Amino acid sequence: MRRQQFVRSIWLHLVMVPLALLWLAPLWLMFVFSTLPERDIFSTPTPLLPGGDFFTNLQNLNADTNFSRTLLNSVVISLIYTVLSVLLTSLAGYAFARFRFWGSTTLFTVVIATLTIPYFVVVIPQYILIAREFKITNTYWAVVLPSLANSLGVFYMRQSFLSLPSSLLEAARIDGAGEWRIFFQIALPLVRPAMAALSLILFLTAWNDYLWPLLVLSPDNKAALTAPVALGSLIGLTRVSWGGIMVGAVLMTVPFLILFVFLQRQFIAGIAAGGVKD
């Protein structure tokens, strides 16, 4: 029995180790390329060890597009989006979890049903609103506004509020606390772990978002240009520093890889939340 387990374990590792290395290879090469001069990136066999040209490549990248500025835009946009979206979805999730009111079931069903509706269906009217009605392209708000109403966030926050003991909130109510005070001072602090997981996922989504920002931001206007759109605009060019592009990819990715190592539980909780229903 023991021997059989041992043999099985060996086989498992024989499959998993190469597969894991294969999975990590693109990220490793991203890092390696970001540190190499142009001629080494385009040489065979593919170099597998890093060089010392990271900062030269960073300069090239900033010469191709003001990447530092776009990184700053991305940070600001992702922060605004995360804070507002968590607030909005927490408020809505709380309303659905704590109150029974006229239309509550219907509304909740409608909100959750949009999870199965492809984003493509709304993207054109969203664009018409932002670009033609509000005329706010190339601003932070153009990027942030349309996706604030996140259905998964409402679902997730509602679940979290449902798990709170209602006796606690009732007690506060009897003590004469107003609904808003109960929400902000009692309910919200109690679901902090859920808020953290949701924030992480929303921040990451905003940080990596490409299609929508591509529509409402133009690469020539750096006012609100995000890092992915700036980097994407370089990929199609012929005379461009690929070492620079790789630096951009690394700067966009590595902070989250580090965060992922330390906050794996929160990331996983946020992702798995969609799949596991109560």
Partner 1 sequence: MRRNLTPYTFLLPYLIVFGLFWAWPILYSFYLSFLDTRSFPWAWNPGVNWGRILQDATFQDALRNTFLILVIQVPLMLALATGLAVALNSQLLKLRPLFRFAFFAPVVVGAVAYSAVFRLIFNTDFGAVNSGLRALGLGPVDWLYAPAPAMSVIILVVTWRWTGYNAIIILAGLQSIPKDIYEAAAIDGATPWQQFVRITLPGIRPVLLFCFVLSIIGTLQLFTEPFLITNSGPGTATMTLGTYLYQQGFRSFNFGYASSIAYTVALLAGVFSLIQLRFFGRD
Least separation in angstroms between CB 276 and partner 1: 5
Q: Scan residues 71-130 and list those touching partner 1 (CB under 8 A).
A: 87-89, 91-92, 94-96, 98-99, 101, 104, 107, 110-111, 114, 116-129
Number of residues that bind partner 1 (CB under 8 A): 95
The pair phi, psi for residue 63, each rounded to 5°, is -75, -35
* Amino acid at position 193, single letter: P
Least separation in angstroms between CB 223 and partner 1: 20
Least separation in angstroms between CB 15 and partner 1: 8
* Amino acid at position 161, single letter: F
Tell me how many degrees the CA angle 142-231-145 measures, rounded to the nearest 5: 15
Least separation in angstroms between CB 192 and partner 1: 19
* Amino acid at position 136, single letter: I
What length does the chain have?
A: 278
Instruction: Output 189 or 236, the one with its CB closest to partner 1.
Output: 236
Site for partner 1 contains 155 (CB under 8 A): no
Q: How many angstroms separate the CA atoms of 246 and 252, rounded?
A: 10
Instruction: Output 156 or 183, the one with its CB closest to partner 1.
Output: 183
Instruction: Output 34 or 56, the one with its CB closest to partner 1.
Output: 34
Q: Scan residues 40-79 and list those touching partner 1 (CB under 8 A).
A: 41-46
Distances (CA, A) of 255 to 151, 216, 248, 249, 262: 27, 26, 12, 11, 11
Tokens of 60: 């090239």
**Binding pattern to partner 1, positions 19-38, x when CB under 8 A?**
-xx-xxxxx-xx--x-----
What percent of the residues of the chain are helix, what percent strand, and what percent coil, each to the nearest 5?
A: 75, 0, 25
Q: Scan residues 247-276 and list those touching partner 1 (CB under 8 A).
A: 248-250, 252-253, 256-257, 259-261, 264, 267-268, 271-272, 274-276
Q: How many angstroms separate the CA atoms of 267 and 102, rounded?
A: 35
Q: How many angstroms separate the CA atoms of 71 and 209, rounded?
A: 13
Residues 6+ apart with CB under 8 A from 255: none
Q: Scan residues 181-240 and list those touching partner 1 (CB under 8 A).
A: 183, 204, 207-208, 210-211, 215, 228-229, 231-232, 235-236
Least separation in angstroms between CB 191 and partner 1: 14
Least separation in angstroms between CB 52 and partner 1: 19
Least separation in angstroms between CB 266 and partner 1: 12
